[in-house]
Structure 1
Amino acid sequence: MIREFGLLPDGRPVQEITLKKGPLEARVLTFGAIIRDLRFNGCPVVLGYDTLDAYMADTDHVGAIVGRCANRIAGGKLKIDEQHHQLDLNENGTTHLHGGRGGFSRQIWNLEQSDKASVLLKLVSEDGDQGYPGRIETLVRYTLTGAGALRVKITATTDKTTPVNLTQKCYFNLDQSDTVLGHSLEIAADSYLPVDSDKIPTGEIRNVAWTPLDFQDGRSIGKAGRMADPIDHCFCLAPSRRDAVEFAAALESSGGDSRMEVWTTEPGLQVYDAAGFSNPAIGLAGKPYKAHGGLCLDTQAWPDAVNHAGFPTVLLRPEENYTHATEFRFA
């Protein structure tokens, strides 16, 4: 089912596409390719809003596809083939975050195709958009399976070498409790990227052993948070993008009756516990979301990779195809 969700200030309509298969039902917007609502056996498992105004006011990219480069780039500076590029500095005037003020999460995507269980959206980002070189075409396909999985496939091509690091940024809460601090989290990573005061990776790859960020055997998010600063770190899943999805993480509700597994091709998993969540808009639960109201499990490349030669590359060249696959499996 397709309906008009609202109008942007310039009069352009935003469409909502409803998907349903097996135990899953999703509502997807053409604005930001946002997953507005996702339900497993009728229960909401992500944060979302009922009005377009709420999404226009949102600064947390709730449910959106984030790009051209997710996460942070120090100083918004790129050097590609001896050419320097300055990106939009949309965080504190010093850092490029999530593709800039006019990034993919703030754009209208074109509805290319849809059926009862799948939707295909397309976005063209022109040369110079937010300071990036090259014109890129991006496709995202959301598919629900009868076995209870949400599949996300993102592809992109470019006419000039440019960094591409895309992610789907749902905020998960498997039982719609006020916070996810009682949820249990397991991460298939033995290392993470420490960051400086601006949340930029220092370049070190640090083992998680004997740190509050060791989720290899599963632990309470709240317990880890009490032992450390708020969680907003990239975990190193692999040294490069994989050809097929592999297990990355598992999230379990406070009571243990709901579980979600994350499988991905991506080399990194940015985990954010929404400690700074601040949108006062009313959410799907009928009340404003609060700090720690959801958990982001953003499958992506390592942040600020353009400035770290030892990180997996995020550069996409004209002769290459970018392909990112992630599955969220519910039980």
Structure 2
Amino acid sequence: NDILLGHSTLPEYVMSDGYSFGSVVGRFANRIGGASFAIDGKKYQLDKNDNKINTLHGGFFRLDHVIWKAKVVDTKTSCGVVFSRRSPDGEQGFPGNLDVTVSYTLGKDNKLTMRYKAKTDKPTPVNFTNHAYFNLVGSGTILDHELQSDCKGYLEVDKNLIPTGKIIDVAGTPFDFTKAKTIGRDIGKVAPGYDHCYVTPAYKGKAAAPDPKKLVRAAVLYDPKSGRKMTMDTNQEGVQFYTANWVEGLTGKNGVKMVKHGAICLESQRFPDAPNKPDFPPCVLRPKETYDAVTVYGFSW
């Protein structure tokens, strides 16, 4: 079975702008409040593509709608593709020429590694992720999928879904997945569904950068009917849990209509609105530094 929501043709992907099925998201994934930020005293204005207030996933000109260079990589233990592109100074409103590589590598151990690396010639916020929609059955909803996560907190947000800066303990709330439970058990208490940034064990505290060389277990997704399991490890401090709350009625692969909660996205990332939150782990990449974000999805059955 195909365990990813998406489309059958390229034009369908292009026309479904805003859903980002299976695509790279950047320059800055998730939201930036007020569609602006300041670095070293200089203010930058971005696209207001989220309710005409915030920037979401980089703005109107998203990096999943541009042409990337591609190189196939094939070894004795894995195969994959490395995409590369220069995002020019001022693209999406962000400063700096940003040289980006995105690699997808599938190993013989059934692990899919996604790695994002970037360098810049000016200080600039960087936050890449992938917006894959997983359904381990391949159809229907994911409400009977079991999810377990070592994330013990999530970011409180305001009415515009911008973090307040406060981390909420999941204990005793519908957001608690520290012990495995079905996604559907408490989803009715979180209408219209989960769409929250959880704090992974990579988080080291206020304004502290996580260790880029250390991967932590962020989530385990399991479907009891098929016996399929997916693990997620990352070096990022945040992971967005999103239960496909707004895909109902879209045409999916082979013409099949999508349903509400037909998938779950587990998007590793920096914290949303980090450019405007000095207490959040740093997200600004500076010249001579290297951005290096890694996420590994492991599959078994």
TM-score category, normalised to shorter length = over 0.9
Matched, 1:236 2:226: no
Question: Separation in 2 of the partners of 1:124 and 1:47?
Answer: 29
Conserved 8 A contact 2:102-2:114:
yes
Task: Give the letter aligned to residue 176 of structure 2.
Answer: D
Residue 101 (structure 1) aligns with:
60
Conserved 8 A contact 1:57-1:279:
no
Conserved 8 A contact 1:175-1:254:
no
Matched, 1:88 2:47: yes
Greater relative contact order: 1 or 2 (C-alpha under 8 angstroms, separation 6 or more)? 2
Matched, 1:52 2:10: yes
Question: Separation in 1 of the partners of 2:166 and 2:198?
Answer: 12
Conserved 8 A contact 2:137-2:226:
no
Residue 267 (structure 2) aligns with:
298
Unaligned stretches of 5+ in structure 2? none
How many residue pairs match? The answer is: 288
Aligned-residue Cα RMSD (Å) equals 1.4
Please report how far the alpha carbon of residue 88 of structure 1 lies from its aligned counterpart in structure 2 after TM superposition: 0.8
Partner secondary structure for residue 202 of structure 1: strand
> Judging changes above 3 Å, is the alpha-carbon distance between structure 1 residues 323 and 232 closer, same or farther for their aligned structure 2 residues?
same
- Match for residue 287 of structure 1 among 240, 256, 277: 256
Question: Separation in 1 of the partners of 2:275 and 2:249?
Answer: 31
Matches within 5 A, 1:193-208: 193-208=155-170
Please report how far the alpha carbon of residue 312 of structure 1 lies from its aligned counterpart in structure 2 after TM superposition: 0.7
Residue 26 (structure 2) aligns with:
67
- Match for residue 120 of structure 2 among 158, 161, 167: 158
1:76-132 deviations in Å (ceiling 9; x for gaps) = 111000000001111111110001111212211111344382111012111111110
TM-score of the superposed pair, with normalisation by structure 2: 0.92
Question: Separation in 1 of the partners of 2:46 and 2:187?
Answer: 32
Identity %: 37
- Match for residue 136 of structure 2 among 146, 171, 174: 174
> Judging changes above 3 Å, is the alpha-carbon distance between structure 1 residues 278 and 162 closer, same or farther for their aligned structure 2 residues?
farther
Question: Separation in 1 of the partners of 2:138 and 2:89?
Answer: 41
Residue 286 (structure 2) aligns with:
317
TM-score of the superposed pair, with normalisation by structure 1: 0.84
Please report how far the alpha carbon of residue 44 of structure 1 lies from its aligned counterpart in structure 2 after TM superposition: 1.3
Partner secondary structure for residue 299 of structure 1: strand
Question: Separation in 2 of the partners of 1:321 and 1:244?
Answer: 16
Question: Separation in 2 of the partners of 1:79 and 1:149?
Answer: 38
